Amino acid sequence: MYNAVGIDISKGRSTVSVLQPGGTVIRKPFHVSHTSQSLHELTEYLGSLDGSTKIVMECTGRYHEPVVKALSEAGLFGSVVNPHLIKNFGNNSLRKVKSDPADAKKIARYTLDNWTELRQYSGMDNTRTQLKTLNAQFSFFMKQKVAAKANLIALLDNTYPGVNKLFDSPVRQDGSEKWVDYAYSFWHVDCVRKIGVKAFTERYRAFCKKHHYIFQPDKPEKLFH
């Protein structure tokens, strides 16, 4: 006998439904919190079912990880599928409002219909998921970095007209850029002109030494004017 278990994952708890072929309900949908004790009780119950049991849940960020981890440690067959597959399964339904028990039943029906094609979740699946998440976060960070740099260049040009043309030093291996460090220390044209060329030259020399840049004697005069 086949036992198809559908688990609708939510934050902190899941809803479980157990069906057999022909739509036979083994147990009405019930809720399970994501605590060690509750998940242990769930795996014991699922492991006690007669026949072959397969458990399916959607990949929902990281909320499913405690559940699939508990199933794996208990030696149960757990499969994590793309939510779009569940959404498109039997999509002739007119139901629009989300219902955890109904969603759990739908996942259980999907389990029955795709029994032989289901792939058991492995540790590599978790690694791939984490890599995808990190890649998405990195791409978002890089976009924000590019946007922030463009905004900084525009603001610097407004407060210190023409200064961007005076810095052509390449980016250092540690990611430092001379014009960025300069803008932090001398953020406005008045930071230079109010102290005079001589005083600014000494401050600029100290700035280069502090940040490990080569001091060019003719640069302070250009920056001042």
Q: What is the C-alpha R_g of the chain?
A: 30
Among 56, 77, 49, smallest CA distance to 5 is for: 56
pLDDT at 124: 67
Token pair, residue 135, equals 């890649």
pLDDT at 65: 87
pLDDT at 75: 93
d(CA 199, CA 207): 12
Which one has a higher pLDDT value, 29 or 212? 29
Among 120, 117, 91, 121, smallest CA distance to 103 is for: 91
Helix (H, G, I), strand (E, B) or coil at 88: helix
Contact 215, 205 (CB under 8 A): yes
The most distant pair of C-alpha atoms in the chain lies apart, rounded to whole Å, by 90
d(CA 57, CA 71): 11
pLDDT at 207 over 80: yes
Helix (H, G, I), strand (E, B) or coil at 2: strand
d(CA 197, CA 100): 72
Does the reported pTM lie above 0.75? Answer: no
Contact 118, 79 (CB under 8 A): yes
| Cα separation values, 207 from 156, 176, 178, 215, Å | 18, 14, 10, 9
Contact 113, 49 (CB under 8 A): no
Virtual CA dihedral for 124, 126, 130, 135, nearest 10 degrees? 50
Q: Which residue type, as a one-letter code, is found at position 18?
A: V
Q: For residue range 150-195, what is the model confidence (pLDDT) as tens digits?
A: 888 788 777 777 777 777 777 777 777 777 888 888 877 787 778 8
Among 91, 95, 97, smallest CA distance to 109 is for: 91
d(CA 32, CA 15): 6
Judged by average pLDDT, the poorest of 18-27, 42-51, 126-135 is 126-135
